């Protein structure tokens, strides 16, 4: 579940004594990456390490609370029963935080990928006060940290997901048009020091959450709320771009003479296929529920169906250009699009395949996201736990 999304994983043993900690990471990753529990002998065979070395390293990981042992399983032939190894539940946890246009929240995941606790606060945060909102989110996160530590879980840190341009080098939020935020340093406002907090774009963290499921190794992830965000995943690694700003598909221009966007440009994709634009075109309030729109679509109401056709054509056009540039074979639709998938998928797929030069030889697949409603929070917590696996010696 927690395979590194930024660098390829290798299960090749490092045999030099000075690289002992690297071998500890190899053993941990072998267990975490396996779809089924492994025994010590399985780990030794997978990594090339000696069985005695593996046993010593496993003992460290078990004592440190990263792995746990299941009941022994009788061997198929004479010998000692195999002891299956699995990630340890409720020992080390990561926290995913998010501010979005209509909610803020936090999710706590343990090493098994299970949700330990989750809190979400609903609201309308367009043009909100960044200091007040991030302070509130910090208080919410602090209460979860206190609860985890009271139950003797160690909190490895947090990832904060924001819907805007996040500088991957400095952690600064350059701009979040739909929140009305600009030039914000979010981490100090949370007040979670000394817990490490890293800031990232919400669509990219949501794409990370998809990696826990059955997705191809390369795909384009697109999510919609009021805004539209995207992320490019290549060989299970996020392609971030030079400053971490890749994937801003919501501001691809569909019509330069179109409606004014919150970013200052005209005719951006968000003005045709964003949630608020969809609601307006369907004759509903901007803040109407997606369930209400889905109900109107199921009833065959004319305006909502027409709005979906316009959105699908615009989305397919933008995605087709994107696919021509990056060459991925799968598009994953998340957020509002996952809920509206029955009325979007076919039309979007047709529009994409009409525009992609290579489509006659390798058609583009369009599928719905599987990570759930708060995928960015889940992906954020997963990223924290990936850091634990990248350096397990710190935790054992």
Indicate whether 112 pLDDT > 90. yes
Query: Which residue do the tokens 């004759």 mark?
Result: 283
pLDDT value, residue 263: 84
DSSP for 360-371 reads TTSPPEEEE--S
As a whole number of angstroms, the distance between CA 120 and CA 395 comes to 29
Mean pLDDT to the nearest integer, 315-328: 94
Peptide bond into 194 cis (omega under 30): yes
Q: For the chain, give me the number of helices (H) and strands (E)?
A: 13, 15
Pairing between β-strand 92-99 and β-strand 103-110 as defined by DSSP bridges: antiparallel
Q: What is the DSSP letter of 227?
A: S
Residues 6+ apart with CB under 8 A from 225: 100, 101, 102, 163, 178, 274, 275, 335, 336
Mean pLDDT for 198-203 is: 96
Would the pLDDT of 17 be above 60?
Answer: no
pLDDT recorded at residue 323:
94
Q: Does an H or E element contain 234, and which?
A: strand 228-234
pLDDT band at 324 (very low <50, low <70, confident <90, very high): very high
- Report the C-alpha gap between 204 and 312 in whole angstroms: 22
Q: Is the pLDDT score of 181 beyond 90?
A: yes
Instruction: Give the pLDDT of residue 8.
Output: 41
pLDDT in tens, 114-142: 999 999 999 999 899 999 999 999 999 99
H helices present in the chain, as ranges: 20-33, 40-47, 51-63, 130-150, 186-190, 202-210, 270-273, 275-281, 290-298, 302-326, 336-339, 341-355, 375-390
Closest Cα to residue 218, out of 231, 201, 205? 231
In this prediction, residue 9 carries a pLDDT of 42
- The radius of gyration computed from the CA coordinates of the chain, to the nearest angstrom, equals 23
Of 7-21, 149-163, 168-182, where does mean pLDDT reach its minimum? Answer: 7-21
Burial 182-209 (b: 16+ CB within 10 A, else e): eebebbebbebeeeebbbbbbbbbbbbb
pLDDT of residue 75: 62
pLDDT at res. 7 = 43
- A 10 A CB-CB count for 40 gives 23
Per-residue pLDDT at 30 exceeds 70: yes
For the cut 90, the answer to whether the pLDDT of residue 99 exceeds it is: yes
Name, in order, each residue with C-beta under 8 angstroms of 151's C-beta and a sequence gap of 6 or more.
90
What pLDDT is attached to residue 77? 60
Report residue 18's pLDDT band, with 50, 70 and 90 as the boundaries. low
Pairing, β 92-99 against β 67-69: unpaired
Enumerate domains of the chain plus CATH numbers.
16-87 (1.10.10.10), 92-208+375-395 (3.30.420.40), 215-368 (3.30.420.40)
pLDDT range class, residue 60, cuts 50, 70, 90? very high
Residue range 219-269, pLDDT digits in tens = 999 999 878 999 999 999 999 888 888 888 999 999 999 999 888 899 999
Least confident window among 135-149, 163-177, 376-390: 163-177
Q: Yes or no: say if 119 and 97 are a contact pair by the CB < 8 Å rule.
A: no
Q: In what order do the strands lie in the sheet with 228-234?
A: 237-239, 228-234, 219-224, 330-335, 365-368
116 token code pair: 């330990």
Nearest CA to 242 out of 169, 310, 297 is that of: 169
Torsion of CA 293, 296, 301, 305, to 10 degrees: 40
pLDDT at 24: 95
Give the pairing type, strands 365-368 and 85-87. Answer: unpaired
Q: Is the pTM of this model over 0.75?
A: yes
Over residues 36-57, the mean pLDDT reads: 95
* Residue 2 clears pLDDT 80, i.e. is over it: no
Measured distance CA(134)–CA(138) in Å, rounded? 6
Q: Residue 14 pLDDT more than 60?
A: no
Comparing 20 with 108, the larger pLDDT belongs to 108
Tell me the C-alpha distance between 171 and 138, whole Å: 16
Q: Mean pLDDT across the stretch 60-81?
A: 84
14, HSE (Cβ side, Cα atoms, 13 Å): 13
């Amino acid at each position: 579940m927690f395979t590194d999304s930024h660098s390829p994983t290798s299960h090749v043993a490092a045999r030099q004594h000075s690289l002992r900690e690297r071998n500890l990471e190899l053993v941990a990753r072998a267990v975490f990456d396996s779809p089924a529990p492994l025994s010590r002998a399985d780990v030794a065979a997978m990594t090339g390490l000696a069985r005695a070395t593996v046993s010593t390293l496993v003992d460290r990981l078990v004592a440190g609370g990263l792995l746990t042992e299941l009941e022994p399983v009788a061997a198929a032939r004479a010998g000692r029963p195999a002891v299956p190894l699995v990630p340890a539940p409720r020992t080390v946890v990561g926290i995913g935080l998010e501010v979005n246009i209509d909610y803020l929240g936090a999710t706590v995941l343990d090493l098994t990928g299970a949700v330990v606790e989750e809190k979400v606060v609903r609201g309308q945060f367009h043009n909100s006060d960044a200091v007040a909102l991030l302070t509130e989110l910090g208080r919410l996160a602090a209460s979860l940290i206190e609860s985890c530590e009271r139950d003797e879980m160690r909190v490895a840190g947090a990832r904060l997901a924001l819907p805007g341009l996040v500088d991957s080098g400095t952690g600064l939020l350059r701009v979040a048009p739909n929140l009305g935020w600009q030039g914000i340093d979010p981490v100090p406002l949370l007040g979670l020091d000394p817990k490490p907090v890293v800031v990232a774009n919400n669509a990219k963290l949501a794409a990370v959450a998809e990696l826990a499921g059955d997705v191809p190794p390369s795909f384009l992830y697109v999510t919609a709320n009021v805004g539209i965000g995207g992320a490019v995943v290549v060989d299970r690694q996020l392609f971030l771009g030079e400053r971490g700003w890749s994937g801003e598909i919501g501001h691809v221009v569909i019509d330069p003479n179109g409606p004014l966007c919150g970013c200052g440009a005209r005719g951006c994709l968000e003005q045709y296929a964003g949630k608020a634009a969809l609601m307006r075109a369907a004759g509903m309030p901007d803040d109407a529920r997606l369930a209400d729109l889905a109900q109107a679509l199921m009833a065959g109401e004319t305006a909502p169906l027409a709005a979906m056709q316009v959105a699908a054509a615009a989305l397919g056009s933008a995605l087709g250009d994107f696919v021509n540039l990056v060459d991925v074979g799968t598009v994953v639709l998340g957020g509002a699009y996952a809920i509206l998938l029955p009325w979007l998928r076919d039309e979007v797929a047709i529009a994409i395949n009409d525009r992609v030069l290579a489509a006659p030889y390798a058609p583009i697949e369009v599928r719905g996201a599987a990570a759930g409603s708060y995928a960015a929070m889940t992906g954020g917590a997963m990223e924290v736990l990936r850091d634990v696996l990248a350096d397990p010696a710190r935790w054992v």
